[in-house]
Structure 1
C-alpha cells in the first residue's frame, strides 16, 4: 500500500466527465521487423508478461469513506491483460486522418477506476500494412518522465533483443488494503496538515511581492490571467480531436546552431509560428502574445514522494511578432527569464501546496466551475500547454516492431482546450496535438502549419549564416 501524493491525487479530484486527465500516446509501428512475424496475440502475450513484472501496470486506486487523507495504490489481485489490451481496426483507407479520428475517440473515454489506470489499443488496418498503438495512462500515475520510463521498458534497441530483466514483485502483492490501516494512516496525515501549513506559510508570503518586484525589473515570467483570449480558451466538452506531424531534427538543429539558441527555444517558436498561421487564417490572431504553460520536470531536484514531480513555467510565445527570426530570438530571451524565475519559486512549490488538496472541495469546485462556464468569465490563465520530451536519437522497437512515430498527448483543461507535445525520436521530431473538438474543430490545419513554420526558420537560418560569412570574409 502506497499513499498518493497530493499532486498525484489532484489529478483524480479535478477529473470530470469532460475534463479527462489521462495522458495519451500514439505509436506508429512497422510490424515487418517483428521476429517470426507480427500477430496481435503475440504482442498481447508479451505485454502481459512485462506488465505483470512492473508494479506501475498492476496497481490500482483504493479508498474508503473513513479515509481522511489521499487514496492509496494497491496491487490488483485480479489483474487481467484482456481488460487493458484491446484490438480494433481503423476504417479504410487507414490514413492519418482515420487513425487520428479513432485516437480522438479513444482519448474521449474515461478510464475505469476500479482497475489499474491504463489501456492500450492496438489498431490494425493502416495503409502500407502498418500497425498503431494508442496508450492511455492516468496522470495520477504518471508524469512525462515516469510515463516515458514505463513505455521504455516495453521497447528495445534491436527487434530481437532479449526481454529486459525486470524485478518480479508479484510475491509482494497485497491485494486490497486494510481499511483500518488506511483510515488510521489517513487520520494521522490529515491531523498533521495544520502543522505543515503553518511551516509553509512564511515561505509563501513573499511570493507575490517577489513576483511584482521581478516584473518591475523585467525579470519575471508572464503572470497568470494575462493571456489574450482565443477560440480554444473556453469551457471544454468531453470530445477530443487529434492531429500529428513529423519534422526533421537536422533542420531544427540548423536553426538552433545558426541563432545560438536551445532546441526548446526552437520548439516553442515552431508552436508559436504554427499558432500564428492558424489564428491568422481564422481571423483570430490577438494583438498581444499568446502564453504557454510549459511543464518542467523536477525529478532531479525534488525529494518529495509521489509520481508527479513537475513544476510549471509560463512562457511568452511572441505570436505578436511577425518576423520568424525575431520571434525566435525574443522567445529565447524570454525563456532565460522564465527559467530563472521558475527556479527561484522552488522545485517543490507545486508538490508542497498540492498536499492540501481535498477530494470534496476540489471535485465540487471543478464541477461548479465547468457548469457555470467560469473559464469564459475571467481572464485567460494561459492559452495552451506545450511539452517538449527528449527521446533517444536511435531507432526503437516496441515489442519487436520498429517505431516509425511516437506522439505523446497530454490532457486539455477548462480554459485551455489545446495541448501540443513534441518528442524527439531518432532523426525526427514528432508533434502531437490534442484539443477539445468543439474549440479547435480544424486541428489538421494547425498540424500542417508546423512544416511551413520550420521551413521559414530554416530559410532565416541560411540567410543569417550567409550574412555572417559575408561579414567574416569582406571582398
Structure 2
C-alpha cells in the first residue's frame, strides 16, 4: 500500500459528476507501418498487456479511508481486467476532424470509476476524411486520473506503450506484478490515527523550510529584483464560473521551428513565452469579438515540475505553479511577447525564492476530511460564481518525443492533449510537442465556449500575427500544420452538434 500525497488526493476530492479530474492525450496513428499494413483490436489488447509493467499506474486502484479521515491509498488491484480499460469505437462516415473533436469531448466529459485503476484507452477508428492524413488512420484517446499522474509522469506512462520502431518487440524481463488484498477498515483507521499524530511535526518542518525562502523573497522585493505589481486577483471572464457537465475540445498545431524563431525577437524569451503570448492573443481576439475583453490582463497558471531525476517514474503529482499575465490588454503582438517574457521571469523569481518544492509541500498540510468537505461545498453552493478568480486559465506544457513513436506498429503522426476544467476555471490549454510540431490543445466547458472553432481560429490568427511581427513579414493566413487546419472545424460544442450527443 502506498498513500497518496495531499496534492494527489486533492484531485480525488475535487472530483464531482460535473468535474472529472482526469488528464489525457489524443494520439493519431497511421497503421500502414504496422506488420501487414493494418492493426486489429485484439493485437492492441495483446500489445498493451505485454507492457503493463512499464508503469505502476496501470494496475493500481484507490482505497479511500472511511469518512475521508486520511488521504487514500494505492493498492495493486486484485480484480484488474485489461478489457475494461481498453475500448474500441469507430466514427461514422465521413470520419472528419469535427467528428473526432466531438467524440474526444464526449469521452473526456465522462467520469471514470474510482473503484478501478484510473485509466482508460479508447481506440477511435474511421479517420478517413481528415486532410493531411491517409484514410484508415485511428486515434488513441487516453484518460488517466490526475491523482495518479502529472504531465511529466504521464510521459512515462505513454512511453510504456510506445516503441521507437514498428517491430513490436516485447519488453525484456518477466512481469513481477502481483495483486494485493483489500485492506480492512480497522487497518485504515489505525493508519489514519498515527498519521494525525505526525501532522503537527510536518507543519513545523514545512514552515521551517519556507522561512529562508520568504526572507529571500522579501529581500528581492526590497532591492527591486522582484515586483509584486501583478500579484492580484484576475479579472472575471466567462471562463471563471461554475462549470457544467459538458465539454468541447479542439487542437491547433504549429511548426516548432517557427516558434523557436519567433522567440529570438525578444532576448531571453523561451518557447513557453511564445506559447503564452499566442494564447494571450487568442483569448484577446475571442473575448474582444464578443465584446467581453477585460481592461486588465488575463492570467494563466503554469504548472512547474519539481520532479527530481530519481522520481521520473514515481506515481502522482510533483508540481508547483506560477501565475503569469498573458498580456491580453496589449494589441501589438510583439509588445505582448515582451510583456509576457518579463512577467514570466518575475513569476519564476518569486517561485524560486520561496522554493517550488516547498510550495508543493504545503498541500500536505490540509487535513484530508476538511479538504474533501471544502471541495464539495465549493461546488454545491456555486461559490465560483461569486468571487474573482485567482487565475483565468491554465497553460501546461508537456514535452514530447522528437523522434517517431509507434503504437502496435502504427506510426504516430500527431499528438494532442486533454485536461480537466473545474469551477472557476473552465478553460485549459495543454501544450504538446511531438516531432517538428507543437500543438495548442484546449478543453473547455461547452456552456462557456459554444463555438470552439472560433477560439481555434483566434489562436491561428494570434500565431500568424506574432509570426509576422517577429519575422518582419506580412501575416500569412495561418501557419498551422495539418490535419487540424483541415476543413475548418465546426465545433464539438456548437448548438447543432449538441443533438449528436457532443460532450
TM-score over 0.5 (shorter chain): yes
From 318, 329, 352, the equivalent of 1:320 is 329
Q: Matched residues in 2 for 1:209 and 1:369: separation?
A: 33
From 171, 193, 204, the equivalent of 1:198 is 204
Residues 151-208 of structure 1, C-alpha deviations (whole Å, 9 max, x = no match): 11111221115233366231x4323235544333322111111222234345667988
Could you tell me which residue of structure 2 aligns to residue 41 of structure 1? 42
CA positional deviation for 1:303:
8.2
Q: In the alignment, does 2:359 pair up with 1:339? A: no
On the 8 A contact 1:53/1:169 being kept in 2, the answer is no
Could you tell me which residue of structure 2 aligns to residue 182 of structure 1? 188
The alignment partner of 2:460 has SS state of helix
On the 8 A contact 1:294/1:312 being kept in 2, the answer is yes
The alignment partner of 1:267 has SS state of helix
CA positional deviation for 1:93:
1.9
The 3 A distance-change label for structure 1 pair 106 and 41 is same
The alignment partner of 1:259 has SS state of coil
From 221, 228, 234, the equivalent of 2:235 is 228
Q: Matched residues in 2 for 1:460 and 1:65: separation?
A: 58
Q: Matched residues in 2 for 1:188 and 1:73: separation?
A: 18
CA positional deviation for 1:449:
2.3
CA positional deviation for 1:106:
0.8
The alignment partner of 2:51 has SS state of helix
CA positional deviation for 1:363:
2.6
Could you tell me which residue of structure 2 aligns to residue 354 of structure 1? 363
- The 5 Å alignment of 1:58-457 reads 58-65=59-66, 68-127=69-128, 128-165=135-172, 168-170=175-177, 172-177=178-183, 179-201=185-207, 217=224, 219-220=226-227, 226-260=233-267, 261-300=269-308, 307-457=316-466
On the 8 A contact 2:33/2:409 being kept in 1, the answer is yes
On the 8 A contact 2:258/2:467 being kept in 1, the answer is yes
TM-score normalised per structure 2: 0.86
**Higher mean C-alpha deviation, range 221-230 or range 258-267:** 221-230
**Higher mean C-alpha deviation, range 110-119 or range 393-402:** 393-402
Is there any run of 5+ residues in structure 1 with no aligned partner, and where?
A: 465-475
The alignment partner of 2:66 has SS state of coil
CA positional deviation for 1:84:
0.4
CA positional deviation for 1:299:
0.4
TM-score normalised per structure 1: 0.91
Could you tell me which residue of structure 1 aligns to residue 479 of structure 2? none
Is there any run of 5+ residues in structure 2 with no aligned partner, and where?
A: 129-134, 474-503
Aligned length: 463
**Higher mean C-alpha deviation, range 363-372 or range 8-17:** 363-372
Superposition RMSD in Å: 2.5
